[in-house]
């Protein structure tokens, strides 16, 4: 093991509550000079607010050390041929898309790209239907998913994430979404490229067996599951075999030393 990718929500904190031992483990990682990145499917805010949140929990990180689906999607949109973009993301995530030709928030036609992020309580029938109308009005319009996470652990219980809304639009339009973020292989490859080590030497640590562990393993990385966040004991009864199972992120230094 040469480098680490850290999922954030459910690994370093649960929503607004820090997970015990996270700052100490990250300090250990820095002292050991282990290359690492924070790789999150969070699409409700941009990297700057995410870095501020980490710092609030005692984890210093620069925006450059955080990779999100919005960053990957915006990079791809800037590099592609271009065309109007309809954004379905929270205001806090919009700065990642600066410089792109954005459609007004009430447009129902004219999009070349329809980008779906985590709108949480802002989802309603009208909003979802507007995304559907944008896709139906132009057969060339591409559906873009900011991650395909099904649900996450909120303070009041589990909550729907991006995937169920993307699935609804895929079902209604008969089109497949282009996925930026976990568990899409190119997203893990982009993270590995930034670390500059071979994929097989990278450990992805997450609380989502499918999106984090299976996704990482599918891209040639190792996948470790933490028993925090959305982890449920039933997760262990599935066919996915994590390369490591940690009680929490606090157990990482000890596991790492034994694994070397
Ligand atoms: Mg997570």
Q: What is the pLDDT of residues 138-165, one digit of tens each?
A: 999 999 999 999 998 888 999 999 999 9
Q: How confident is the model at residue 260, as a pLDDT?
A: 82
Residue 94 burial (CB count, 10 A): 15
pLDDT at 80: 87
For residue 16, report the distance from its CA to the centre of ligand 1, in Å.
13
- The residue count of the chain comes to 260
pLDDT(53) > 90:
yes
d(CA 188, CA 239): 21
Confidence (pLDDT) at 237: 85
Radius of gyration of the chain (CA): 18
Separation of 139 CA from ligand 1 center, angstroms? Answer: 34
Q: What is the pLDDT of residue 241?
A: 94
* Whether residue 169 has pLDDT greater than 90: yes
- Ligand 1 center to 133 CA (angstroms): 31
Give the pLDDT score at 155: 87
For 188, the enclosing helix (H) or strand (E) is: helix 185-195
Q: How far is the CA of 106 from the centre of ligand 1 (A)?
A: 32
Residue 11 CA to ligand 1 centre (angstroms): 6
C-alpha of residue 10 to centroid of ligand 1, in Å:
4
How far is ligand 1, taken at its centre, from the CA of residue 6, in Å? 9
Q: Cα of 40 to ligand 1 centre, how many Å?
A: 7
Q: What is the pTM of this model?
A: 0.88
Residue 163 CB contacts under 8 Å (≥ 6 apart), including other chains: 145, 147, 148, 149, 150
Place of tokens 């989802």: 123
pLDDT in tens, 207-249: 999 999 999 999 999 999 999 999 998 888 888 899 999 999 9
pLDDT digits (tens, 9 = 90+) for 63-82: 999 999 999 999 899 988 77
Please tell me the distance between residue 205's alpha carbon and the centre of ligand 1 in angstroms: 9
Q: How far is the CA of 160 from the centre of ligand 1 (A)?
A: 13
> What is the whole-number distance in angstroms between the Cα of residue 215 and the centre of ligand 1?
13
pLDDT given at position 137? 97
Q: How far does the centroid of ligand 1 lie from the alpha carbon of residue 107, in Å?
A: 33
Give the number of other Cβ atoms within 10 Å of residue 32's Cβ.
12
Percent of the chain with pLDDT over 90: 88
> How remote is the CA of residue 208 from the centroid of ligand 1, in Å?
6
Mean residue pLDDT across the chain: 95
**Window from 27-41, 77-91, 215-229 with minimum mean pLDDT:** 77-91
In this structure, what DSSP letter does residue 17 have? E
**Whole-angstrom distance, CA of residue 203 vs CA of residue 117:** 26
Q: Cα(222) to centroid of ligand 1, in Å? A: 16
**What separation in Å is there between the alpha carbon of 15 and the centre of ligand 1?**
10
Distance 229 CA to ligand 1 centre (A): 7
Domains and CATH numbers, the chain: 3-68+182-259 (3.40.50.1000), 69-179 (3.40.50.1000)
Sorting pLDDT into bands at 50, 70 and 90, what band is 12?
very high
Distance CA 224, CA 221 (A): 10
Nearest residue to 65 via CA among 49, 88, 44, 47: 47
Ligand 1 centroid to 54 CA: how many Å? 14
């Amino acid at each position: 093991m040469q480098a680490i990718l850290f999922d954030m929500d459910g690994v370093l904190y649960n929503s607004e509550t820090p997970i015990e031992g996270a700052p100490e483990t990250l300090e250990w990682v820095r002292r050991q000079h282990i290359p690492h990145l924070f790789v999150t499917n969070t699409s409700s805010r941009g990297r700057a607010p995410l870095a501020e949140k980490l710092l609030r929990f005692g984890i210093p990180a620069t925006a450059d050390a955080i990779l999100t689906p919005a960053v990957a999607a915006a990079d791809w949109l800037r590099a592609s041929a271009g065309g109007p973009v309809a954004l379905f993301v929270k205001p806090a995530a919009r700065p990642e898309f600066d410089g792109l030709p954005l459609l007004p928030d009430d447009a129902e036609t004219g999009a070349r790209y329809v980008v779906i992020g985590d709108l949480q309580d802002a989802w309603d029938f009208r909003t979802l239907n507007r995304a559907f109308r944008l896709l139906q009005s132009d057969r060339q319009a591409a559906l873009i998913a900011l991650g395909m996470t099904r649900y996450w652990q909120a303070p009041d219980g589990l909550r729907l994430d991006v995937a169920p809304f993307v699935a609804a639009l895929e079902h209604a339009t008969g089109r497949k979404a282009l996925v930026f973020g976990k568990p899409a292989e190119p997203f893990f490859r982009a993270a590995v490229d930034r670390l500059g080590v071979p994929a097989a030497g990278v450990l992805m640590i997450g609380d989502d067996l499918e999106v984090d562990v299976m996704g990482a393993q599918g891209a040639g990385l190792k996948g470790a599951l933490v028993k925090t966040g959305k982890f449920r004991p039933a997760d262990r009864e599935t066919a996915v075999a994590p390369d490591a199972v940690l009680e929490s992120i606090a157990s990482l230094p000890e596991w790492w030393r034994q694994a070397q």
